[in-house]
C-alpha cells in the first residue's frame, strides 16, 4: 500500500528543495509518496500522514517558541523524524556547551547576554582578541558576527545583531581557507560529506553569503571523529549533519544539525535506488 509522507517546509519556501526532491524520488521507488507542507501553514496538512519528516523549516529561528510548540503537538506517538524531543533540544545553541562538557572538540566558548560588555568580558576571560558571536537561535549564520576585543563599536553592533543571549566563541581562522565540512549520517551510517568554503574576506560558508560547496572525501579518521561527536547525542537520529573544520590535529566542531539540515543529496554519488538518498529511504522504512 502506498504511504503518505509529509516533508515539513515553511511558508517562506513551501516547496521541496532540490536535495529533498532527490530524496522524494528515492522514497517513491519504495512506494512512499512525498508531499510538502509548511510547518507554519495549514495544520490539517499533517493529519493522517504515515510519517512527518522535518526538512526545510528554515524560518523557525524567527519564531522559536511557536516552532517548539508545534513540535510538541507532533509528539503524540505518530512517526516524526527526527523525534520532536530531540529537535527541541537541538534548537538552542546551549546544546553545544553540553557536548563540550562531554568531550566534543568545541572551540573555546562562553554563554553571554547580548551586551557589548558581556562579550568583551567573556573574550577577556578566554584570552581572545578575536571571536565569533552567535545568537541562541539561528540558522544560515543569521545573527553571527566576527568581533575584536578592542573594537567597541563592533562589539555594540554584534550585541545588537544578536538580539538575544547566545555564544561567544574563539575564531577558527582556518575556516577561511579549509572551509567547513558537513558530515552526513543516516541512521548512524556515514554516507557522504560536503566542504563549504566562504567567499574571500568572509567566514560564513553558506550559499546565502556567497559560499560555495563541493563533494568532499574526508579521511577515515575525520569520519570517525565526526561519528564520535554524534555519539554524544542522546537517542538515535534518523538523519544528522556534523559541521566541523578539519584540522591536522583533529576536528573543531561548529554544529550538530538535527532539525532541518541541508543533506546535500544533489552532491552525493549514486542513483535514487543506490545512493545516499536510497539509504535514507531504507532507514525510514525500517522505522515505520
Model pLDDT for residues 242-254, shown as the tens digit of each residue = 999 999 999 999 9
Is residue 201's pLDDT more than 90?
no
- Cα 76 vs. chain centroid, distance in angstroms? 24
For helices 276-287 and 18-28, angle between their N-to-C axes, nearest 10 degrees: 60
pLDDT band of residue 85 (cuts 50, 70, 90) is very high
| Section 62-82 average pLDDT | 94
Q: How far apart are CA 111 and CA 101, in angstroms?
A: 13
pLDDT band of residue 143 (cuts 50, 70, 90) is confident
Is residue 1's pLDDT more than 60?
no
**DSSP 8-class letter at 277:** H
Residue in this structure with the C-alpha cell 510538502, named with its chain if needed = 36
Is residue 89's pLDDT more than 60?
yes
Here the cell at position 116 is: 557589548
- Give buried/exposed letters for 209-225 (b at 16+ CB in 10 A, else e): eebebeebebeeebbeb
More confident residue, 219 or 268: 219
CB atoms within 10 A of CB 86: 20
CB atoms within 10 A of CB 24: 22
Of the candidates 139, 137, 140, the one whose C-alpha atom is nearest the C-alpha of residue 162 is 137
Is residue 209's pLDDT more than 90?
no
| Section 48-64 average pLDDT | 94
Answer for the pair 238, 79: CB distance below 8 angstroms, yes or no: no
Is residue 271's pLDDT more than 80?
no
Domains and CATH numbers, the chain: 3-91+270-287 (3.40.50.2300), 95-102+174-257 (3.30.470.20), 109-171 (3.30.1490)
Q: How far apart are CA 274 and CA 106, in angstroms?
A: 34
Is residue 2's pLDDT more than 90?
no
Percent with pLDDT over 70 in the chain: 92
- Cα 114 vs. chain centroid, distance in angstroms? 22
pLDDT band of residue 60 (cuts 50, 70, 90) is very high
Question: Omega into 82 within 30° of 0, i.e. cis?
Answer: yes
| Section 278-285 average pLDDT | 95
Amino acid at each position: 500500500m502506498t504511504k503518505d509522507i509529509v516533508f515539513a517546509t515553511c511558508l517562506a519556501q513551501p516547496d521541496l528543495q532540490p536535495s529533498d526532491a532527490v530524496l522524494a524520488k528515492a522514497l517513491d521507488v519504495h512506494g512512499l509518496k512525498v508531499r510538502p507542507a509548511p510547518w507554519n501553514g495549514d495544520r490539517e496538512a499533517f493529519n493522517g500522514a504515515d510519517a512527518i519528516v522535518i526538512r526545510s523549516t528554515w524560518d523557525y529561528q524567527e519564531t522559536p517558541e511557536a516552532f517548539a510548540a508545534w513540535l510538541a503537538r507532533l509528539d503524540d506517538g505518530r512517526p516524526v523524524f527526527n523525534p520532536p524531543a530531540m529537535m527541541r533540544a537541538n534548537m538552542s545553541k546551549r546544546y553545544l556547551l553540553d557536548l563540550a562538557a562531554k568531550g566534543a572538540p568545541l572551540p573555546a566558548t562562553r554563554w553571554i547576554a547580548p551586551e557589548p560588555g558581556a562579550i568583551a568580558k567573556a573574550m577577556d576571560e578566554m584570552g581572545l582578541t578575536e571571536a565569533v558571536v552567535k545568537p541562541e537561535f539561528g540558522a544560515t549564520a543569521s545573527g553571527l558576527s566576527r568581533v575584536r576585543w578592542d573594537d567597541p563599536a563592533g562589539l555594540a553592533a554584534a550585541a545588537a545583531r544578536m538580539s538575544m543571549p547566545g555564544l561567544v566563541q574563539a575564531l577558527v581562522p582556518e575556516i577561511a581557507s579549509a572551509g567547513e565540512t558537513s558530515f552526513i549520517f543516516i541512521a548512524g551510517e556515514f554516507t557522504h560529506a560536503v566542504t563549504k568554503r566562504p567567499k574571500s574576506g568572509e567566514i560564513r560558508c553558506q550559499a546565502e553569503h556567497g559560499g560555495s560547496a563541493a563533494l568532499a572525501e574526508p579521511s577515515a579518521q575525520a569520519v570517525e571523529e565526526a561519528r564520535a561527536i554524534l555519539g554524544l547525542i542522546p537517542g538515535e537520529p534518523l538523519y544528522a549533519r556534523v559541521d566541523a573544520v578539519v584540522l591536522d590535529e583533529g576536528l573543531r566542531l561548529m554544529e550538530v544539525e538535527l532539525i532541518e539540515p541541508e543533506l546535500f543529496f544533489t552532491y552525493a554519488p549514486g542513483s535514487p535506488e543506490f545512493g545516499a538518498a536510497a539509504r535514507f529511504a531504507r532507514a525510514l522504512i525500517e522505522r515505520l
